[in-house]
Chains A and B, each alone.
Chain A
């Protein structure tokens, strides 16, 4: 494959979520309203069509090692599908309110969903394993612990960590990462040692684990609220949005305290999405300006990609082999950028 964009597909509405299937040959696309589709990487042809959630689709997640996919939406439901046949395996009740988050655990054995203040954990077959309704406000962010034995949820006043012990979920959270503010995004570093949350108040809360009160850090100076957070595979770099500049913190050594982050400039409008490769070092950013950048931090290089017609970038996803970047836009356009290393 030579570098560049191949085909383009119109999914009908602002792209809410994009996710690659584990074979790296198929791409699942959920528009904000309308059918969810699975596309062929090489041709863009539609391989599967799945029905929408009434009033809107919120989330999409793919099991890492089984032919399973989950869609979630405004109807408060999470639907488990067989990705080989497209058959609906089970429809799960995530709770009252929109099911805004649905994520398979990294090992694929469990599924976490949030709807309003309700967190539920399910087996990948759709049996409920755990429920917590102990949140003070609607859960705005969800992140799995990298070892699949815990989750973090974020809402007002910080984040809570839940975990399994001896195969069963503990009923209460085992750590409360307190902060007086509204957490709207959360990410857990791949090595399990750090949790970072972005806030409405344009700060990042950074917690080293195990958490000790008073040891949290926060980073400020962002232009606007921060929903875009991404860890690189080595857990060294935390990339953040919250404006036109992608700010990358180096947490190695004693960092990030007292360090100056790298500031990646190039977008002419707010960054909307950030994602590192799964194993490789490259960082992809998309903005409301319709630009996509692929950054090589070590070489201080960047590749700029535009899509035609121009439209704000809504979602980005690296293929499992890190050689392709799926791009979803606000006008419903989906395309795949293949790097030359194919």
Chain B
């Protein structure tokens, strides 16, 4: 029986036509020159590197009925990989490039349902490329675009040279609100350190399934945080009319200008944003006094005076993205540029169907109840859940339980023992369409021991 170490890693590259898949593929093949790599592609891209096996195949999806589970799989991949695995000299990697409008689900599902695929290959990661300039045309309308983002383990925001930093921040925040766990990289010309793309082991239950707490923490109540270097005196805080009639803001001094201080300011802001803001109308004065201010906006926007008593660095947290209101800090008509700009996942969404629901709970679970609940969720909501994964704290078990799923397919097993002193904690994430956050949380709570 092959262990993960014997299995050949498979990387799936997905993304719209023109997003840079072929460019990325060529980078990988060049850098991995000397390794035996098979490329399976469905579009006639220009894979210009010699000595690689390139298979051009039609994406052939068929519906497989395995008892009560019905799922779609890539029959052509089963056939092609079934052939490629019969080699004395094994391939080091397999790269699968999907067509631009592909739904990644059938590719992933193929590796869950075919025994030969499971035994000889290991799905390493779904890498999605996004054309930062053109994706806005698709991100609201195209199901495939949303699926490709939701399924990503690693996402390349490519062609960053064609868009402004502000647009990139917005795009990243939007993507982050859909997919809370993927790694997001900003690239020009699809160039990035290959260590981010290979040996990711995103589907490997044996890999350390540790979640970055940031992604699964309670969503922050503000959409943007930044730091400005300001001089003593008054500034105009100007806003145009936008999607909402008011915006909560919090300003506070920050020193020194480093990550720890920003984290601390952020934590303070999370708490402060829960309080009632002081309501201000256009023309009023705002100070960085660590109190929440609710800025009213008229039909033509508003201007506030931002009074700075001492030259230094100041953090500003805004309820909505500053670009939605064209929020600027001006002195003598010149806008101050932030020295730090950080978008956060939306805690409310503008009519967005794809979201991630994260659950974190220290209370132990009843394994039987969880099993029944997750089975019910898969049966009834499986079509809308693209991916799920997690680490579970089962009552009465000394081991962590790890699982992952794609639509209705579920794979889970006991993992290592909880270490002495380690906090026993369940962390789950669901990425999908029309997820009912409250229902999922309530269902989870009903499984507690």
Q: Which positions in A face B, CB cutoff 8 Å?
A: 12-14, 16, 32-33, 55-56, 58, 74, 97-98, 100, 116, 137-138, 140, 156, 180-182, 184, 200-202, 224-225, 270, 314, 330-332
Query: Does any Cβ of A come within 8 Å of B214's Cβ?
Result: no
Secondary structure of the B side of the interface? mixed
Contact A13 B60, CB 8 Å, known A55-B53, A224-B115, A225-B114: no
The answer, among A14, A100, A184, A225, for a CB contact under 8 Å with B86, is: A14
**Are B75 and A13 touching (Cβ within 8 A)?**
no
The A contact surface, by secondary structure, is loop
Across the interface, do B76 and A138 meet the contact criterion of CB distance under 8 Å?
Answer: yes
B374 interfacial by beta-carbon distance below 8 Å: no
Closest to A332 in B: B88
Contact at B65–A138, with CB atoms within 8 Å?
A: no
Chain B residues with CB under 8 A of A180: 65
Q: What's the minimum C-beta distance from A233 to chain B, rounded to whole angstroms?
A: 29
Q: Which of B53, B60, B89 is in CB contact (< 8 Å) with A156?
A: B60
Name the CB-closest residue of A to B63.
A180
Number of interface residues of B (CB under 8 A): 22
The answer for the CA separation of A116 and B75 in the assembled complex, in Å, is 12
Q: Which residue of B has the minimal Cβ distance to A140?
A: B79
Interface residues of B in 43-98 (CB under 8 A from A): 53, 55-58, 60, 62, 64-66, 75-76, 78-79, 83, 86-89
Known: A201-B64, A225-B114. A58 touches B83 (CB 8 A): yes
Q: In the complex, what distance in Å separates the CA atom of A74 from the CA atom of B87? A: 14
A–B pairs, 21, beta carbons within 8 Å = A12-B88, A14-B88, A32-B83, A32-B86, A58-B83, A74-B55, A97-B56, A97-B57, A98-B55, A98-B83, A100-B83, A137-B58, A137-B60, A140-B79, A200-B64, A200-B78, A200-B114, A202-B66, A224-B115, A225-B114, A225-B116
Give Cα A200–Cα B75 distance, bound, in whole angstroms: 9
Query: Are the C-beta atoms of B89 and A13 separated by less than 8 Å?
Result: yes
Given A182-B64, A201-B65, A314-B86, verify A137-B75 contact (CB < 8 Å): yes
CA distance A139 to B78 in the complex (A): 13
Q: Which residue of A lies closest to B73 (CB)?
A: A200
Inside 8 A of B75's CB, which chain A residues have their CB?
137-138, 140, 156, 182, 200
B53 touches A330 (CB 8 A): no
Q: Compute how far the CA of A58 lies from the CA of B114 in the bound complex, rounded to whole angstroms.
A: 21
Task: Say yes or no: A201 contacts B79, CB within 8 Å.
Answer: no
Q: Known contacts A98-B55, A200-B114, A225-B114; can you find 14 more A-B pairs with CB under 8 A? A: A14-B86, A14-B88, A33-B87, A56-B83, A116-B58, A137-B58, A140-B75, A140-B79, A156-B62, A181-B62, A201-B64, A201-B65, A224-B115, A330-B86
The 8 closest A-B pairs by CB, nearest first: A14-B86, A224-B115, A13-B88, A156-B62, A137-B60, A32-B86, A182-B62, A32-B87
For B64, B79, B86, the residue with the greatest tally of chain A CB atoms inside 10 Å of its CB is B86
B62 to A331, Cβ gap below 8 A?
Answer: no
- Give A178 to B83 CA distance when docked, in angstroms: 26
CA distance A56 to B115 in the complex (A): 23
B252 CB → nearest A CB, Å: 61
Interface residue ranges of B198-248 to A (CB < 8 Å): none
